[in-house]
A and B are shown apart, each in its own frame.
Chain A
Amino acid sequence: MFSLELLPEAILFGVLLGCFYAAVSIGLSVAFGLLDVPHIAHPAVMVFGAYCTYVLGRYGWDPILSGLVLMPLFFVLGMGIYRFYYETFEKRGSEAGVRGLAFFFGLTLIIEVGLILGFGVDQRMVEAAYIGQSLRLGEMRIPMRMLVAFSVAVLLTVGLTLYLSRTFTGRAIKAVAQDEPALRLMGANPVRIKQWAFGLATGVTALAGAMLIIVGPVEPSLDRVYIGRTFAVVVLAGLGSMTGTVAAGLILGISESIVLMMFGASWAPAVAFGLLLIVLGIRPQGLFGR
């Protein structure tokens, strides 16, 4: 039920959640929004990252540290995936669109089942000093883990946005999204740039996975609800817009939080997908779309 007293807390929680959603979606914003790769497997890769963090956690590693260490490894993985995708599908034109989609779908299945076979279907968690504690802010209680995820999310988003707008490679990435032939004429190799960008997106996803397991326990099927959340954010943002990703994340986070408060957990997964359908129906180019 709707409670005016609980509303501020719900909104605050929604803001923290929203920034977290923005951060986990930002890899997809690059991979799909800028590079036009039908990367349905993005959430699955993130869940995979969460499990890697879990494994490192068993050796006592702090999850954020794990995430940072995993980033370069995932970067290389991402470059490999893109290379394979490019050679097999993108080169061959429009027919390949369907097959590329099916490929990433198959990849999602393989990752999800691989995780089930490796870790079982039970939920896994990590432990850290900041997980389990809450901060008191007047009448409201804010879980520490949300604050941590929020901080990391902000740093990540700001960092990536700055990278894309200030550095040479970053701007090349944005350029290749807008006008590939022009870039080619300037002497840059679009495939190399896209490969780098995809690697970057995947590297960022490693950290997103770490945040995922900080925010809550993970299980192999978590990727399914995050397909809805990440794509809802990316589409609502408008393809390729980094600032849009933050705004869209906030909208999703707050909506989910309020629905959670009013109707309970059984309705929450539908929020992201419902939002996605509404955006696709009314304004498919999103808030800041090209």
Chain B
Amino acid sequence: MRKSGTPFWIGAAVVVGAAALAAWLITNEYYFFAGYIVVTFVILATAWNILGGYAGYVNFGTAAFFGLGAYTSVVLIQSIGAPLAVQILAAALLSGLLGFGAGLLTLRLRGIFFAIATVALIVIMETLFINWRYVGGATGIQLLRPSPIPPFESYTKMLFVGQVIMAVVAVAVARYMETSWIGRGLRAIRDSEEAAECSGVPTLKLKLAACTVSGALMGAAGAPMPMYLSFVEPASTFNLTYSIGALASAMVGGTATWLGPVLGALLLSTIQQIVTVTISNEMNVLVVGVLLVVFVVAAPEGIVGLLRKLRRAK
């Protein structure tokens, strides 16, 4: 017995349509430049939530998957000049593999060991790419943007709309996993893994699936990054900001449904843009940290939970 998906798909079409319309009407490129980042965090938070929210396995290593996606693009651009779509698919594949491998290594252990292992992933990935000359090593590499695909006139606008489409795909995937028998199994794992296993849930397989899908989406989100900046270097690509942003967005927004990460990412990214520009980058991290602690302590079900309570109180 499933809820009808029609309202969701209508909403999705509206979102993509609005993005395309904006790209056509608005000329100031800054909005798309900033908007790309916001949408990227929507994807990252949604992807994070598949494993972190639904299954309860906290992943600190978003930056590792994101960065791998970005560097996959770099390698493809450098070697064969691959188009954007190929970059995204390859990035998703490789990051998915990384998720599978990391999961295989650590998902048989308790949650905190998985979390620490994901931190290790970032450091190891960063170290690997710092020492790889072909992609620029520690100093990074500059890239030339090709011309945008018609009807787009601006590459930035094209990337923005592409990212919006990717976000819709990511949310659709998350929504499917959440509302299907898969989601129920993941929730059972989160509630009591031992009881889930004894109720016939193949816990390791489901966790691996969640980890792989999550990693693949994060990699896909990272693939257009080199073209977005025209420059890639390990320190800022494997930056903890992505991990923090994804985790905090999902936990502040609410981890139970796909809507939470979207709301959380929109909120936190907007705050990030404002604070970073007006005050400082560090203050932004402080704000995120405080918000995370406050919500985790006082509003564990996130913004979505608060909204639900408000609706019930009326």
Contacts and interface: CB of A to CB of B under 8 A. Distances in A.
Partners in one complex: yes
A117 B282 contact: yes
Contacts of A267: 127, 131
Interface string A250-285: 000000000000000011011001101100110010
A99 B283 CA distance: 23
B286 A114 contact: yes
B52 interface: yes
A203 to B, nearest CB: 23
Interface residues of B, number: 44
Nearest to B244: A109
A269 B127 contact: yes
B57 to A, nearest CB: 8
A224 B292 CA distance: 19
B36 interface: no
A97 B292 contact: no
A109 B288 contact: yes
Contact of A273 (B109, B119, B288, B296): B119
A190 interface: no
Given A117-B282, A270-B124, A101 B115 contact: yes
Contact of B293 (A106, A228, A276, A281): A106
Interface string B175-193: 0000000000000001110
A273 B113 CA distance: 12
A179 interface: no
B286 A113 contact: yes
B17 interface: no
A44 to B, nearest CB: 11
Nearest to A282: B105
B282 A98 contact: no
Contacts of B282: 113, 116-117
B56 to A, nearest CB: 5
Contacts of B106: 277, 280-281
Contacts of A110: 286, 289-290, 293
A99 B120 contact: no
Contact of A98 (B52, B130, B297): B52
B131 A266 contact: yes
A230 to B, nearest CB: 10
A98 B56 contact: yes
Contacts of B119: 224, 227-228, 273
Which secondary structure dominates chain B's binding surface? helix
B138 interface: yes
B296 to A, nearest CB: 5
Contacts of B190: 95, 98
A142 interface: no
Contacts of B285: 109, 112-113
A107 B123 contact: no
Interface string A155-186: 00000000000000000000000000000000
B241 to A, nearest CB: 11
B240 interface: yes
B306 interface: no
B286 A109 contact: yes
A150 B106 CA distance: 33
Given A109-B244, A284-B109, A266 B289 contact: no
B127 A266 contact: yes
B109 A94 contact: no
Nearest to B131: A266
B251 A102 contact: yes
Interface string A221-242: 0001101100100010000000
A105 interface: yes
A102 B58 contact: yes
B109 A109 contact: no
A133 interface: no
A269 B119 CA distance: 12
A151 interface: no
A276 B112 contact: no
A225 B119 CA distance: 10
B117 A266 contact: no
A196 interface: no
A114 B282 CA distance: 9
A116 B290 CA distance: 15
A277 B113 contact: no
B115 A277 contact: no
B84 to A, nearest CB: 31
B124 A105 contact: no
Nearest to B286: A113
Q: What are the 6 tightest A-B residue pairs by CB atom distance, in nearest-first order?
A: A109-B289, A273-B120, A106-B292, A106-B293, A270-B127, A113-B286
Interface of B: 52, 56, 58, 60, 105-106, 108-109, 111-113, 115-117, 119-121, 123-124, 127, 130-131, 138, 190-192, 240, 244, 247-248, 251, 255, 282-283, 285-286, 288-290, 292-293, 296-297, 300
Given A99-B296, A99-B300, A225-B123, 4 more contacts: A95-B300, A109-B288, A270-B123, A280-B109
6 contacts: A97-B56, A98-B111, A101-B111, A106-B248, A225-B123, A277-B106
